[in-house]
């Protein structure tokens, strides 16, 4: 008997899936790439790429969800009781978004919100699985051709040339815990982590990370850019020595980096804090004027 029940359950589940797919085929939907700012009564099918943690904005809880249908990516904001619609939904699931509107568009990513009667529901879809959608996005990132900042779109790989016009990071170089991979604090000769890990600050195995958020300007526009330690321009051993000796490295970085003409290779992301596109570097360096000159001659 249990075996028969199991077979019956499978048949019913398959029947429900087929009925679900049949019903959604009759629904008029719009691709994310075709949605324009201020559009209303939006119905779309997409997969959940990422579900962010709940935040409090203006006293109200909100959960942001990145959705992807292969044509574009969107940021769906669910407020207050709408958050319950995420129950039983997971990253990778295909969802039907009904009765949404598009209050804003951040470059190539549309921002969606549900109306009072709006809803999202899990469905069966012939959309590629989320890994394939992400691979397509990754392929776009890996095209590191030279672009202007004004041309940047989310998920795009690019090579940028511009001037560093501002440095925003107060602690750009710091030790990282090998247990939980979080930022450590230097205290009395040791790097200490909240997880309880404690390492001698002079330990050769202690990992240090350089992440400096700057504003890059190329004349066409500006963009917040996170520079990493993949560069030959800075002497990180010297920076580490200065930090251990409790010297201020910001003065050194301001002197060496402000106004610097750099070439940066990386990709664009959507920054939740800035609510705008930002640029993450894979590598960067001071511009080589002769290389630029020779490249222009070849072009």
Q: What is the reported pLDDT for 268?
A: 87
Q: What is the reported pLDDT for 141?
A: 55
Q: What is the reported pLDDT for 1?
A: 44
Q: Strand, coil or helix: what is 98?
A: strand
- pLDDT tens per residue across all 299 residues of the chain: 444 455 555 544 544 544 454 445 567 889 888 888 888 899 999 999 999 989 988 889 999 999 998 888 899 999 999 999 999 999 999 999 999 999 877 656 789 999 988 999 999 988 999 888 877 666 555 567 899 999 998 778 899 999 999 999 999 999 998 888 789 999 989 999 988 899 999 998 899 999 999 999 999 999 999 999 999 999 999 999 999 999 999 999 999 999 999 999 988 887 777 778 899 898 999 998 887 777 777 65
CATH code 2.40.50.140 for 142-172+211-298: yes
Q: Do you know the residue count of the chain?
A: 299
Question: Where are the CATH 2.40.50.140 domain residues in the chain?
Answer: 2-134, 142-172+211-298
Q: What is the reported pLDDT for 142?
A: 59
Q: What is the reported pLDDT for 14?
A: 47
Q: What is the reported pLDDT for 22?
A: 45
Q: What is the reported pLDDT for 87?
A: 93
Residue that the structure tokens 């590629």 belong to:
128
Cα(3)–Cα(6) distance, rounded to whole angstroms?
Answer: 5
Tell me phi and psi for residue 144, to 5 degrees: -90, 55
CB 105 within 8 A of CB 111: yes
| Residue 238, number of CB atoms within 10 A of its CB | 11
Fold classification of 2-134 (topology level): OB fold (Dihydrolipoamide Acetyltransferase, E2P) (2.40.50)
DSSP assignment of 35-57 equals --TT--SEEEEEEEEEEPPPEEE
């Amino acid at each position: 008997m249990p075996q028969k029940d199991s077979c019956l359950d499978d048949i019913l589940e398959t029947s429900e899936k087929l009925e679900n797919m049949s019903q959604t085929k009759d629904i008029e939907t719009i691709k994310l790439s075709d949605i324009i700012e201020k559009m209303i009564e939006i119905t779309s099918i997409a997969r959940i790429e990422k579900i962010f943690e709940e935040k409090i904005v203006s006293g109200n809880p909100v959960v942001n969800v990145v959705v992807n249908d292969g044509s574009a990516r969107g940021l769906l904001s669910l407020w207050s009781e709408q958050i319950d619609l995420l129950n039983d939904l997971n990253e990778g699931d295909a969802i039907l978004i009904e009765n949404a509107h598009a209050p804003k568009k951040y470059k190539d990513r549309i921002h969606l919100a549900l109306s009072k009667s709006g809803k999202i529901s899990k469905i069966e879809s012939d959309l590629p699985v989320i890994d394939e959608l992400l691979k397509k996005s990754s392929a776009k990132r890996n095209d590191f051709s030279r672009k202007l900042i004004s041309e940047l779109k989310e998920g795009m790989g690019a090579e940028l040339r511009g001037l560093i016009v501002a440095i925003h990071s107060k602690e750009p170089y710091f030790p990282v815990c090998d247990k939980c991979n979080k930022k450590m604090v230097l205290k009395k000769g040791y790097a200490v982590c909240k997880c309880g890990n404690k390492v001698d600050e002079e330990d050769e195995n202690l990992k240090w990370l350089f992440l400096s958020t700057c504003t890059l300007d190329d004349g066409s526009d500006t963009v917040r850019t996170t520079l990493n330690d993949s560069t030959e321009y800075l002497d990180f051993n010297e920076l580490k020595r200065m930090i251990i000796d409790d010297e201020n490295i910001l003065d050194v970085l301001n002197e060496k980096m402000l106004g610097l003409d750099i070439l940066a290779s990386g990709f664009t992301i959507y920054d939740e804090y800035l609510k705008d596109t930002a640029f993450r570097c894979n590598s960067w360096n001071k511009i080589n004027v002769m290389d630029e000159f020779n490249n222009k001659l070849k072009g």
